Amino acid sequence: MKILIAYYSRTGITKKVALLISKKLKAQCDEIIDKKDRSGALGWIIAGKDATQKRTTEINHKKNPKNYDMIIIGGPVWSWDVTPAVRTYVTNNKKSLKATRVAFFATQGSSGAETKFESMRKILGKKPIATMTINGKDFKDEEYKKKIDEFITTVNF
C-alpha cells in the first residue's frame, strides 16, 4: 500500500509526529507550506483569527495525493479548529482524497481536536478510517509513541 503523510506544522511538533509515522510505515511525507507569514506574536494572533473565521490560505506542497492508496493528513489544532493550510489542502484535493482512504491526526495543547476533525470531515464529505490526537503533555512521558503505534496498527491493515 502506497501511503502519503501530508502535514502542516508551524513550530515543528506536528512535523516530529509526521516523520515518526512515516519512518514506521515506510511512507512518504509531503509538507504543506503556508505562504502567509505565521511567525511571531502577530503571526500567532492572525493565525488564531484566520482559523476561527475558517479562512483558506495560499499553500505549496509537492506530492499529488492521486498517486497514493492512503493519505494521512496531520496538523495542529488552532482555535479548536483546522488550520487554514490544512483547510486549503483538503479543499483543493477533495476529489483525490474522496477517491482514496484517509486518516487524520492532530497535535494540540489540550483540546479542540474533535471539532477540528469534524470540520475536516465536513469539508471532505467523508469519514476518516482513523484519527489520532497528541497532546502537549504526551511528549513528557513518551505517551505519544504509544499513541502512534496504536494509530499505525489501525491504519495499516
Ligand X SMILES: Cc1cc2nc3c(=O)[nH]c(=O)nc-3n(C[C@H](O)[C@H](O)[C@H](O)COP(=O)(O)O)c2cc1C
List 47, 90, 97, 148, residue binding ligand X (CB under 6 A): 47
Does residue 139 interact with ligand X by CB under 6 A? no
Does residue 87 interact with ligand X by CB under 6 A? no
List 3, 4, 5, 10, residue binding ligand X (CB under 6 A): 10
Of the pair 10, 61, the CB lying nearest ligand X is at 10
List 6, 14, 71, 124, residue binding ligand X (CB under 6 A): 14
List 19, 28, 63, 80, residue binding ligand X (CB under 6 A): 80
Long-range contacts formed by 142-151: CB under 8 A, 24+ apart: 144/17, 145/20, 148/17, 148/20, 148/21, 148/24, 149/24, 151/21, 151/103, 151/105
Among the residue ranges 44-52, 53-61, 85-93, 121-129, the one whose residues contact ligand X (CB under 6 A): 44-52
Among the residue ranges 60-68, 95-103, 106-114, 145-153, the one whose residues contact ligand X (CB under 6 A): 106-114
Does residue 92 interact with ligand X by CB under 6 A? no
Q: Are 34 and 65 a contacting pair, CB within 8 Å? A: no
Of the pair 4, 47, the CB lying nearest ligand X is at 47
Does residue 100 interact with ligand X by CB under 6 A? no
Of the pair 58, 69, the CB lying nearest ligand X is at 58
Q: Residues in the site for ligand X, rule: CB under 6 A?
A: 9-15, 44, 47-48, 76-80, 107-112
